Amino acid sequence: MARALRLDETETEHLYHLARAAGPAPARARVRRDSAPAIRPSVRRMLDSMTGAPAFLRNHRFDIIAVNPLGAALYAPMFAANPALPVNSMRFTFLNPHAPAFYPGWAQIARSAVAALRMTAAQHPDDQHLMSLIGELSMRSEPFRGWWAAQDVYVHRHGSKRFRHSAIGDLDLDFEALTLAGDRALTVVTYSAEPGTPSGDGLELLATWAATQQSTAAVQRRGSPR
């Protein structure tokens, strides 16, 4: 069928997921979806060791469940609205009014996000939390509803993305999405830029800005009445 329809690799993978989801319920894996997977200490150390690259760890629902300091600085608008983890990047993209300014190419990014969510929904058809997220976005975001109806599929493996950071300006960053071999429901996403380019210099400025923000917060905490 995939050959007859001339499906690409991602579309073929999606077709297989749909076929498995349509099979008898006992044949599908029965796992609890309401508990977050434990993050190994070595994975946290790996994130923290990436001092020159923004990085975060997300699950299949696009919940960011761990982030390094530079990643938190890059996604400052998202974490400003939701400082406690986990933070859902889909809710930020479609429901936060600051998202279109943060993503200069918002329409393309948002449509790709919907296609990626459709792909993971086929992989996890029994995940009620994921289905609730899709229902919430469908109810609250008209663009999401339209793109969801298009039934596009997409996998975030690698690519480039432009950000407009309020303190740094525009950053054109390359991203890599790396699935953890021992935790296939978890993905590490990293961003980088060629050294010496405007975006490479911008990442260095971002690191300085993040350190300043952390120092200011530490001073404020020390000065707060106990």
Reported as a single tens digit per residue, the pLDDT across 60-111 is 999 999 999 999 999 999 999 888 999 999 999 999 999 999 999 999 999 9
- Asked if residue 3 belongs to a domain, the reply is no
Average pLDDT over residues 165-190: 93
- Asked if residue 14 belongs to a domain, the reply is no
- Asked if residue 12 belongs to a domain, the reply is no
What does the block give as tokens for 185?
């429901």
Domain count, the chain: 1
Average pLDDT over residues 203-207: 96
pLDDT on residue 9? 52
- Asked if residue 99 belongs to a domain, the reply is yes
**Whether 73 contacts 209, CB under 8 Å:** yes
- Asked if residue 173 belongs to a domain, the reply is yes
How many CB atoms sit inside 10 A of residue 27's CB? 7
How many CB atoms sit inside 10 A of residue 86's CB? 17
- Asked if residue 75 belongs to a domain, the reply is yes
**pTM of the predicted model over 0.85:** no
Separation CA 140–CA 100 (nearest Å):
16
Give the range of the structural domain holding residue 104, as residue numbers without chain letter.
40-223
Interhelix angle 142-150/128-140, nearest 10 degrees: 120
- Asked if residue 156 belongs to a domain, the reply is yes
Distance of CA 125 to the CA centre of its chain: 20
- Alpha-helical regions (H) of 124-223: 128-140, 142-150, 198-223
Q: Which residue has the tokens 């975006």?
A: 199
Asked if residue 13 has pLDDT above 60, the reply is no
Residue 186, H or E segment: strand 183-192
- Asked if residue 5 belongs to a domain, the reply is no
Separation CA 157–CA 155 (nearest Å):
6
Reported as a single tens digit per residue, the pLDDT across 147-162 is 999 999 888 899 999 9
| Banded pLDDT at 5 (limits 50, 70, 90) | very low
End-to-end alpha-carbon separation of the chain, Å? 67
- CATH code at position 110: 3.30.450.180
Separation CA 191–CA 159 (nearest Å):
10
